[in-house]
Amino acid sequence: MDATREIYWNVGHGVVAVMYLLTIAAVTGAAFGFKERLEIWRQGKSLDRFDRRGDRVQRMLATVFGQTRVSRVKDGGLFHSLFFWGFLTLLAGTMLIMVQADLLMPLFKVNILQGNFYRYFSLVLDVAGLVAIVMLGGLFVRRFFIKPKGLETVTDDYRIHALLFTILITGFLIEGSRMAVTELKQNPALALWSPVGYVFAQALSSLGDGALSGLHKGLWWFHLLLGLGFISVIPRTKLRHILTTSGNSFLAPFEPKGTIGTINLEDESIEQFGASKITDLTWKDLFDSDACTSCKRCQDRCPAYSTDKPLSPMKVIKTIGSVAETSPKKGLLEAVTADALWSCTTCGACQDICPANIEHVNKILEMRRNLTLMEGEFPGDEVRTATNNIEVNGNPFGMAYASRGDWAKGLPVSIMQENSDVDILYFAGCYASFDRRNRDVAANFLRICAAAGVKVGILGKEEKCCGEPVRKLGNEYLYQMVAAENIETIKGYKVKRIVTTCPHCFNTLSRDYRDLKFDVPVEHYSTFINRLIVEKRLKLKPEPFEFTYHDSCYLGRYKDIFEEPRAVLKSAGGKLTEMSRSGYDSFCCSAGGGRIFAEEKLGSRINVKRVTMASETGMPILASNCPFCLTMFEDGIKTGGFEGKLKVRDLAEIVAERIVQ
């Protein structure tokens, strides 16, 4: 007997017209729902996210169908991915039946749903349905019984769970009742290709043919209406993420990570800087709120949230969404709150993990810009002082600018003003220039360069703060002032390459300054030293030591540099034990986003939390690659009571001790 089945069995071909009319109604309903959302998004400012469409489509297909971002976190993510693939397969199967019954058969008299193809088709769809039900069950247990901390359940969640579960179960009941009347008796061998349906059919078969066909017909209509209902509620519930989250993988930026819009300060027509209301944000910022699924992965990773500060990246996004929907004309900053905005370290953990490609950090920066540039506000008086110091002396400490190069006296380095015939310009930055602990790092970096025969120059008193902390605090004006002066100074010399020991300077000079027409290659010392070792220009005598390593946010997450610093430390003789949070999942030291200037008054101390994680590895040494991290960890070791158990050492210090002269 042939392996196929009669489509519209029991319900008859008479339903086709009604079915399609209802479908059109459901899709139209959904379209109107999205039109309402579109009106909300359109309140935002313009932004081009439709360039490079080929690349965007490619990225979207990979992200959506590969479930690449959502499956990065196994808890919840794995269930979601498998559910998605199951549900998608069912949708594809349904579409195929539609094409077969209402297109191929009436127009071409072709039946592709037969023979082995039909057998496998039946099997795949049954398995897909089963997977979807089991995964939905898993998600159900997770949400309603396990209740992970921070996961917020709203009315929508109950309704959506009920809807999806009913759609899936009724699907199998329809299949089972059909099979009980037909396949089970006429073609039992074929019935086995629908294993789940087979089980349902066996269970239902005792009802008798009359009752079964009545049940089948009733459920068929019920299932159809639920399916169409599902389509029509997509834009009006959390289900909208099917389109918005997928859409965001198309709309995500292509610029280098950490790119911030550079305000044109010459444009005197601009009257509003930063965002104080919904219309100051871009349409994409508002779209992001609709793409958020409240999965709270950002919140789980946020160093501010996890130390009891009033910031949750998820709530910032949600608040923007609700203000955009309810009262777009007022109160954005009041709703988000200045305390939440100032708590952000711009570590980027939220954005990195977000399965929906939401851009949290730049929204926070836009609102900070409003606080700083429009209101003249600071997170504290100490930050105001540091900012004033940068204005006057080019460093946050308020030290005399003319003493900036004093640290280098007696070290193998030339001041560019005196001799600019060098291989690299070392942009020392404020901490290496003035902070006692970080001066040691700078001196060790110079010793390493000297041992490798690299001629190094510094700008000395001509150098100024790169502007990173004030830019992240929203002070674009001061950032552009110091940046312009640094750029002009550096352009005055024939600089081939700049090396920094500070990831913040590194990011700023290599990316942010590009918008200000600066194009000298810039490198972080970890990759530079690694190359010196690989090219055998720097010879080390490895001495064994055990350590754990901290990925600074601005070297790791922002610049994807993970391997080189580890390679350097290993070639120095190090044996690495990773912290539970490393690589892209690294946990901030607390000093990013200009927080290096600010006292941590709210919640508990982020640096102590990170130092605690380091001490849990049992390693005696915590290796770092950033002056801010080094400063915060020195402090965290003291205030957290880890003295004598844990030492923080900079990569350059460890390497310099092992130089073969």
Partner 1 sequence: MKILVCIKQVPDMESHFRPNGSATWFDESDLAFRMNEYDEYAVEEAVRLKEQLGGEPEITVLSIGPDRVIEAIKKALAIGCDRAVHILEPEVASREPWQIASIIAAYARDKQFDLLFTGMQSQDRGSAQVGVLVAELLGIPSTTTLVGFAWADGVVTATRELEGGVKSKVRLKTPALVTCQLGLNSPRYPTLPNIMKARKKEITMLQAGELSSEKPLTGSAAFRHPEKRGSGVVLEGSVDELVEKVLVILKDKTAVLR
Cα–Cα distance list, 244 to 41, 58, 286, 314, 608 (Å): 11, 17, 11, 16, 38
Per CB under 8 A, which region of 15-23, 154-162, 366-374, 410-418 contacts partner 1? 366-374
Regarding 477 and contact with partner 1 (CB under 8 A), the answer is yes
Regarding 273 and contact with partner 1 (CB under 8 A), the answer is yes
Regarding 461 and contact with partner 1 (CB under 8 A), the answer is yes
Least distance to partner 1 from the beta carbon of 395, Å? 10
Taking the alpha carbons of 591, 594, 600, 604 in that order, is the dihedral positive or negative?
Answer: negative
Among 6, 39, 271, 519, binds partner 1 (CB under 8 A): 271
Residue pair 552/626 in contact by the 8 Å Cβ criterion: yes
Among 105, 207, 374, 621, binds partner 1 (CB under 8 A): 374
Per CB under 8 A, which region of 30-38, 369-377, 511-519, 578-586 contacts partner 1? 369-377
Per CB under 8 A, which region of 392-400, 432-440, 554-562, 648-656 contacts partner 1? 392-400
The two structure tokens encoding residue 286: 């508002």
Report the amino acid identity of residue 412.
P
Regarding 643 and contact with partner 1 (CB under 8 A), the answer is no
Least distance to partner 1 from the beta carbon of 367, Å? 15
Report the amino acid identity of residue 432.
A
**Which of residues 381 and 519 has its CB atom nearest to partner 1 in the complex?**
381
Least distance to partner 1 from the beta carbon of 42, Å? 27
The two structure tokens encoding residue 272: 């509003």
Cβ neighbours of residue 388 closer than 8 Å, sequence gap 6 or more: 398
Q: What's the distance, Cα to Cα, between the start and end of the chain in Å?
A: 86
* Contact positions with partner 1 (CB under 8 A) in 110-129: none
Among 14, 54, 376, 644, binds partner 1 (CB under 8 A): 376
Q: Measured in whole angstroms, how far is the alpha carbon of residue 510 from the centre of its chain? A: 21
Least distance to partner 1 from the beta carbon of 416, Å? 16
Instruction: Please name which of 201, 199, 193, 195 lies closest in space to residue 174, comparing C-alpha atoms.
Output: 201
Regarding 403 and contact with partner 1 (CB under 8 A), the answer is yes
Least distance to partner 1 from the beta carbon of 515, Å? 18
Per CB under 8 A, which region of 82-90, 396-404, 511-519, 573-581 contacts partner 1? 396-404
Max CA distance (Å), the chain? 101
**Which of residues 377 and 657 has its CB atom nearest to partner 1 in the complex?**
377
Regarding 378 and contact with partner 1 (CB under 8 A), the answer is yes
Side by side, which strands form the sheet with 424-427?
A: 414-415, 456-458, 424-427, 498-500, 522-524
Per CB under 8 A, which region of 336-344, 351-359, 377-385, 428-436 contacts partner 1? 377-385
Residue pair 248/291 in contact by the 8 Å Cβ criterion: yes
Q: Tokens 């209406």 sit at which residue?
A: 225
Least distance to partner 1 from the beta carbon of 442, Å? 21
Regarding 418 and contact with partner 1 (CB under 8 A), the answer is no
Strands (E), 470-562: 498-500, 522-524, 545-549
Residue pair 59/247 in contact by the 8 Å Cβ criterion: no
Regarding 398 and contact with partner 1 (CB under 8 A), the answer is yes
Regarding 486 and contact with partner 1 (CB under 8 A), the answer is no
**Cα dihedral 35, 312, 310, 327 in deg (nearest 10):** 0
Among 98, 105, 400, 659, binds partner 1 (CB under 8 A): 400
Q: What is the CA radius of gyration of the chain?
A: 31
Q: Tokens 């090396």 sit at which residue?
A: 499
Cα–Cα distance list, 493 to 79, 118, 303, 490, 521 (Å): 57, 74, 41, 6, 14
**Which of residues 377 and 440 has its CB atom nearest to partner 1 in the complex?**
377
The two structure tokens encoding residue 154: 């709203």
Cα–Cα distance list, 464 to 6, 36, 278 (Å): 79, 50, 36
Least distance to partner 1 from the beta carbon of 658, Å? 28
**Which of residues 404 and 550 has its CB atom nearest to partner 1 in the complex?**
404
**Which of residues 391 and 657 has its CB atom nearest to partner 1 in the complex?**
391
**Which of residues 244 and 480 has its CB atom nearest to partner 1 in the complex?**
480
**Which of residues 478 and 622 has its CB atom nearest to partner 1 in the complex?**
478
Q: What is the DSSP letter of 263?
A: P
Report the amino acid identity of residue 73.
V
Total residues contacting partner 1 (rule CB under 8 A)? 27
Among 92, 162, 392, 516, binds partner 1 (CB under 8 A): 392
Regarding 268 and contact with partner 1 (CB under 8 A), the answer is yes
Residue pair 446/426 in contact by the 8 Å Cβ criterion: yes
**Which of residues 470 and 608 has its CB atom nearest to partner 1 in the complex?**
470
* Contact positions with partner 1 (CB under 8 A) in 431-460: none
**Which of residues 255 and 267 has its CB atom nearest to partner 1 in the complex?**
267
Regarding 399 and contact with partner 1 (CB under 8 A), the answer is yes
Among 289, 294, 387, 500, binds partner 1 (CB under 8 A): 387
Per CB under 8 A, which region of 29-37, 198-206, 378-386, 619-627 contacts partner 1? 378-386
Alpha carbons 152 and 295: distance in angstroms, whole number: 9
Q: Measured in whole angstroms, how far is the alpha carbon of residue 66 from the centre of its chain? A: 17
Q: What is the DSSP letter of 261?
A: P
Instruction: Please name which of 397, 458, 396 lies closest in space to residue 424, comparing C-alpha atoms.
Output: 458
The angle at the Cα of 257, spanning 67 to 62, to the nearest 5 degrees, equals: 20
Q: How many helices (H) and strands (E) does the chain have?
A: 28, 9
Least distance to partner 1 from the beta carbon of 603, Å? 26
Regarding 6 and contact with partner 1 (CB under 8 A), the answer is no
Least distance to partner 1 from the beta carbon of 392, Å? 5
Among 234, 340, 373, 443, binds partner 1 (CB under 8 A): 373
Alpha carbons 501 and 656: distance in angstroms, whole number: 14
Per CB under 8 A, which region of 86-94, 184-192, 265-273, 355-363 contacts partner 1? 265-273
Interaction site with partner 1 (CB under 8 A): 265, 268, 271, 273, 372-378, 381, 384, 387, 391-394, 398-403, 461, 476-477
